[in-house]
Structure 1
Amino acid sequence: MYKFQSLKDHVYNYIAQQILEGNLLPDEKINENKICQELDISRTPVREALIQLASENVLENVPRKGFVLRKLDSREAAEIYEVVGVLDGYAATLACGKLSEKTLKDMEFYIESMDLAIHSGNYEMYYKQQEIFHQLYLVECGNDTLIDSLIKLKNKFMTKNYNLNHIMDLENVLQETNDEHKVMLDLFRSNKNSELEHYIRSVHWDPTKSDTEVTN
Structure 2
Amino acid sequence: MYKFQSLKDHVYDYIADQILKGNLLPDEKINENKICQELNISRTPVREALIQLSSENVLENVPRKGFVLRKLDSKEAAEIYAVVGVLDGYAAVLACNRLSEKTLKDMEFYIESMDVAINAGNYEMYYKQQEIFHQLYLVECGNDILIDSLLKLKNKFMTKNYDLPHMEDAKTVLYDTNNEHKEMLKLFQNHKTAELEAYIREVHWDPSKSDTEVTI
TM-score range, shorter chain: over 0.9
Q: Gaps spanning 5+ residues in structure 1: where?
A: none
1:5 partner amino acid: Q
Deviation at residue 2 of structure 1 after TM alignment? 4.7
> Partners in 1 of 2:60 and 2:89 — Cα distance?
30
Corresponding residue for 2:143? Answer: 143
Deviation at residue 4 of structure 1 after TM alignment? 4.0
**Per-residue displacement from partner, 1:123-149 (whole Å, max 9, x unpaired)?**
111111111111111111111211111
Corresponding residue for 2:93? Answer: 93
**Per-residue displacement from partner, 1:152-193 (whole Å, max 9, x unpaired)?**
111111012323222222111101100000000000000011
3-state SS, counterpart of residue 9 of structure 2: helix
Deviation at residue 91 of structure 1 after TM alignment? 0.7
Whether the 8 Å CA contact 2:123–2:162 is kept in 1: the answer is no
Could you state the TM-score of these two structures normalised by the residue count of structure 2? 0.95
1:61-140 mapped onto 2 (5 Å cutoff): 61-140=61-140
* Residue 194, structure 1, aligned to residue 198, structure 2: no
Kindly tell me the number of residue pairs found equivalent between the two proteins.
216
> Partners in 2 of 1:60 and 1:46 — Cα distance?
15
**Per-residue displacement from partner, 1:101-141 (whole Å, max 9, x unpaired)?**
11111111111111111122111111111111111111111
Whether the 8 Å CA contact 1:88–1:201 is kept in 2: the answer is yes
2:104 partner amino acid: L
Provide the alpha-carbon RMSD of the alignment: 1.3
2:50 partner amino acid: L
1:137-216 mapped onto 2 (5 Å cutoff): 137-216=137-216
Q: Gaps spanning 5+ residues in structure 2: where?
A: none
Deviation at residue 7 of structure 1 after TM alignment? 2.5
> Partners in 1 of 2:169 and 2:2 — Cα distance?
41
Deviation at residue 9 of structure 1 after TM alignment? 2.1
Deviation at residue 45 of structure 1 after TM alignment? 1.7
> Partners in 2 of 1:123 and 1:96 — Cα distance?
28
